[in-house]
Amino acid sequence: MDDNSYELVINDSPLADIFLVKYAQDLSKESIIIYLWLNMTARKSGFDDTFIKKFKIVPDSGVDGVLSELMSHSLIIRKGDMFYLQDLKRLEVEEYIKLCRSGMNDSGSDALSSDENERNLLAGSISKTFYQGKMCYALYRLIDRCLYEYKFESQVCYRLFEEGFEKGIHRYVNAMESMAVNWYERGYLTTARLEAHIRDEEMIKKLQRLCGKMLRKRLDQMDIERITNWVQNFNANEDLVNLAFRVNEYRGKVTLINVEETLKNWFEVGADTLEKAGLYEEDKHKENSQKASRRRSRGAAKTAWRTGEEAGIADAGDKEKSDSKAEEKVAKEESKNLPAGVLEMFGGSDEDN
């Protein structure tokens, strides 16, 4: 047997750590595999699309999509018909130098202020806790932005990464930056404001469970966004949402849109507690009953010129009894707009008064 007939694949392929901590999580499975093969085979030499087709990792029709994905993440560059691997370590250093220069130009001094030691301790703690000590520079830059541009307290900055870790997005730079911007726009800059945010998050989870139970279905992303809106903009809680469902039971099939309209209406009139919302619904019921009564009166006035026989009324006493029965019927129909027990909860029904 010829000793040169076989080759042992035991060489090492160069792969920068920054690829794992910054790029890999944003790539599709196919793009990751192809990128690894390119590091093993192409290295510093160029390659074209036919070179990738030989791998048979994706169908030929999918090669252009993989190349576009790798280029969009700055992992490869194109020159004519040829492609080349980017030097990721060089890009990271250039990004760092660019930031340092921009910091000098903006402030006339080093980008870090006198509390540099506190910042370094915070960054080191975040790196060790959530990134096994391997955090990319883009996330260090995010920490600086949170501290010096957004003016987050140190505890708030740490909590940002903690929440990113809990949500599984801590390695996605763009997602972390979006969350930081969202916190900044909502004013989550101090520990006190952050605690309010945490309470909101807990309430959102509770309302998701409640709505899933009431609707007997698994909520989709649109449902979750709608519930989040209730908490953030209408100060909704479990008691109010539960009552909103009950108030809309007369519809037969209650939707989250129905519940949202009710919560919004309560918020606009200041009914921010269970008792206030119940009293508001009771007053609305009384008002609707009065409007129905006035409509009946106007209808009776229009037919007053008819004789008793034409109107189907034997005498004044019979007419009075008929009107009384009609009003009672309307009141019963309108009471369906209220869940059972709401009037009793806040002082009894009209009949009790």
Q: Can you tell me the mean pLDDT for 39-59?
A: 87
Cα–Cα dist 153/147, whole Å: 7
Name the pTM for this structure: 0.52
Cα–Cα dist 352/349, whole Å: 5
Task: Count CA within 13 A, CB hemisphere, residue 336.
Answer: 9
User: Does domain 17-89 fall into CATH 1.10.10.10?
Assistant: yes
Please spell the DSSP secondary structure of 71-128, one letter per residue: HHTTSEEEETTEEEE--HHHHHHHHHHHHHHHHHHHHSS-SS-TTHHHHHHHHHHHHH
Predicted confidence at residue 108, as pLDDT, reads: 38
249 pLDDT more than 50: yes
Q: Can you tell me the mean pLDDT for 64-72?
A: 94
3-state secondary structure of 200: helix
Q: Can you tell me the mean pLDDT for 99-123?
A: 63
Predicted confidence at residue 184, as pLDDT, reads: 94
Predicted confidence at residue 45, as pLDDT, reads: 80
340 pLDDT more than 70: no
Q: Can you tell me the mean pLDDT for 191-197?
A: 89
Secondary element (H or E) of residue 222: helix 221-234
Please provide the average confidence, as pLDDT, over all residues in the chain. 82
178 pLDDT more than 90: yes
Q: Which of 146, 141, 128, 52 is nearest to 92 (CA)?
A: 141
What sign has the CA pseudo-torsion 300, 302, 304, 306? Answer: negative
Token look-up 């959530």 returns 130
Q: By the 8 A CB rule, do 76 and 83 touch? A: yes
The residue ranges of every structural domain in the chain are 17-89, 112-189, 194-269
The band of 97, judged by pLDDT with boundaries at 50, 70 and 90, is confident
335 pLDDT more than 60: no
User: What percent of the chain is predicted at pLDDT more than 90?
Assistant: 52
With 0-12 CB in 10 A as exposed, 13-18 as middle and 19+ as buried, what is 342? Answer: buried
User: What percent of the chain is predicted at pLDDT more than 70?
Assistant: 78
> E-strand spans in the chain?
76-79, 82-85
Predicted confidence at residue 292, as pLDDT, reads: 76
What sign has the CA pseudo-torsion 195, 197, 203, 208? Answer: negative
In angstroms, the Cα distances linking 11 to 7, 42, 122, 133, 236 are 11, 14, 39, 27, 61
The band of 344, judged by pLDDT with boundaries at 50, 70 and 90, is low
- pLDDT per position as a tens digit, 291-313: 777 777 776 666 555 555 554 54
